[in-house]
């Protein structure tokens, strides 16, 4: 797969951050008790993957985690756009887990999202998700050696 221009990639992560923040916001308000329990259980199941350095398992669980948020928003149009954007960025998002300690940081970022969702705190959920996507993009940039280049606006 060809790497998109840095500005295009940065724009994709900015878009995904806002789309997923919307999903988290609506999920905090609309998720059923069963959906919240499923998200919480998945998050707990990811802890051993972090501990054991199971990057492949974590990647798949991470995909499911985000899918649960898309579904939990109960807005099919938003879910469709978020999923399409997520898929476009998947090769770059997946690479982030090769960075040292990214699994642990991602899991901690997910914990903030889950905690906000369980409190039904829509703004905190949106803020936590926005930060999570920002850090996943920054991790990829750092891993790719292009952080300074991307920050310079090229």
Mean pLDDT to the nearest integer, 73-101: 82
CATH code of the domain in which 102 resides? 1.20.120.530
The Cα–Cα gap between 11 and 7 comes to: 6
- Looking at the domain assignment, is residue 125 inside a domain? yes
Q: What is the mean pLDDT of the chain?
A: 85
Structural domain boundaries enclosing 132: 7-151
- Looking at the domain assignment, is residue 1 inside a domain? no
Q: Is the pLDDT of residue 54 over 90?
A: yes
- Looking at the domain assignment, is residue 2 inside a domain? no
The Cα–Cα gap between 129 and 72 comes to: 14
- Looking at the domain assignment, is residue 16 inside a domain? yes
The answer to whether residues 105 and 143 touch, using CB atoms and an 8 Å cutoff, is: no
The Cα–Cα gap between 32 and 75 comes to: 14
Residue 7 is predicted with a pLDDT of: 76
pLDDT over 70, % of the chain: 79
The Cα–Cα gap between 136 and 139 comes to: 5
The Cα–Cα gap between 61 and 46 comes to: 7
Q: Is the pLDDT of residue 145 over 90?
A: no
- Looking at the domain assignment, is residue 129 inside a domain? yes
Q: Which of 16, 29, 45, 34 is nearest to 110 (CA)?
A: 45
| Structural domain total, the chain | 1
Digit-coded pLDDT (tens) for 18-41: 999 999 999 999 999 999 999 999
The answer to whether residues 21 and 5 touch, using CB atoms and an 8 Å cutoff, is: no
């Amino acid at each position: 797969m060809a790497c998109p221009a840095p500005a295009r990639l940065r724009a994709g992560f900015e878009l995904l951050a806002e789309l997923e923040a919307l999903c988290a916001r609506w999920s905090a308000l609309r998720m059923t008790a069963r959906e919240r329990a499923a998200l919480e259980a998945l998050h707990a199941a990811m802890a051993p993957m972090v501990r054991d350095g199971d990057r492949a398992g974590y990647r798949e669980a991470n995909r499911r985690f985000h899918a649960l948020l898309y579904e939990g928003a109960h807005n099919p149009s938003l879910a469709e756009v978020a999923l399409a954007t997520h898929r476009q960025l998947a090769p770059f998002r997946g690479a982030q887990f090769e960075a040292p300690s990214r699994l642990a940081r991602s899991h901690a970022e997910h914990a903030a999202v889950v905690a906000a969702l369980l409190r039904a705190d829509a703004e905190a959920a949106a803020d936590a998700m926005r930060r999570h996507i920002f850090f996943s993009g920054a991790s990829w940039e750092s891993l790719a050696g292009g952080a300074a280049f991307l920050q310079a606006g090229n």
